[in-house]
Amino acid sequence: MISLGGPQEETDILMNEVLFKQLNNLKTEQRNPNTQDIDLDDALNIAKKINNEDQKVAEAVSEKLPQIAQAIDWVAQALSLGGRLLFFGAGTSGRLGVLDAAECPPTFGTKPEQVQGFIAGGEAAMFVAQEKAEDQDDIGIADLNMVFPTQADVVCGLAASGRTPYVHGALRRGMELGCKTIFITTVPKQQLTISPDLVIDVPVGPEVIMGSTRMKSATAQKMVLNMITTGAMIRQGKVYENVMVDLMLTNAKLVERAKRIIMNFSSLDYKAASKVLEQANGHVKTALVMALGGKSKEQAELLLETHQGFIRKALKSQN
């Protein structure tokens, strides 16, 4: 007779069986019929098969543009009211959230606390997988509580499988507190066991390598994140025409980029652009209004403040 052990062991076995069934039903965990012979291919055919599958990702994302637009509006509104965008994910999904958050300050001049990324397992998980950390919803709850969320914040969960306990914990806590909640996943919405305010489900189908969600699933999530944060920043006036003009001049490359931006939009040469940028204390938007509107630093700052940072509106008001 085989003993199943004590009550805890029996409980663990039942939970593992449930998890097995969940994973067995996920499209991302199925074998891809288009790549079943990839282990026999040469390098060129491997690249072709991966590329063929990647092309399907953009098509899948395009089916969710209305939901992505809703997310853009929510995040833009949150930021304008002093709220924050808070990403929560595990593994590859978590790293994508942290990456997107980290890129916002140098690209759009946001404060670091405005867009934040949290990954199961903490900072160490960015470099070395901390696999078990994602299995605990209470860690997700604790990570969200740590930043004292309010109803002005947007909590965005990222999970390719749609089932990550860490992410569910953060989302459920956000829902309890009245935050706007968004869930980005690459399985169909019907497979989810959680109901946040907005689901952006981008079913990308089986991966090139079964279960390797660092591939198509990650690409889909990265595309959606790019749209949401970039769209929200555009709605915050951080882009003039199609140029990022609220960048932080944290290195020599960005300083030179700022001068080039001023020169592209105005008739100033390199020396004059450098001078107006210096007069604007390195603030590109102020420098542009000074150069294009013939304004002093103080006048340019007032115009931008009056028009919520939008350069077009600031310049148009003077015509």
Q: Are 57 and 224 in contact (CB under 8 A)?
A: no
Phi/psi for 105 (5° steps) reads: -60, -50
For the annotated catalytic residues, the residue numbers are 103, 134
Distance between CA atoms of residues 168 and 146, nearest Å: 16
Neighbours of 94 (CB within 10 A): 28
Tokens in use for 310?
């939008």
Strand runs labelled E in the chain: 85-89, 115-119, 154-158, 180-185, 198-201, 239-240, 243-244
Tokens in use for 30?
């199925």
From 289, 305, 196, 179, select the one nearest 245 (Cα to Cα). 289
Tokens in use for 143?
């990570």
Tell me the three state secondary structure of residue 198: strand
Residue for token digits 């290195």? 251
Which residues on neighbouring strands pair with residue 183, listed in sequence order?
157, 199
From 196, 134, 180, 140, select the one nearest 160 (Cα to Cα). 134
Phi/psi for 235 (5° steps) reads: -70, -10
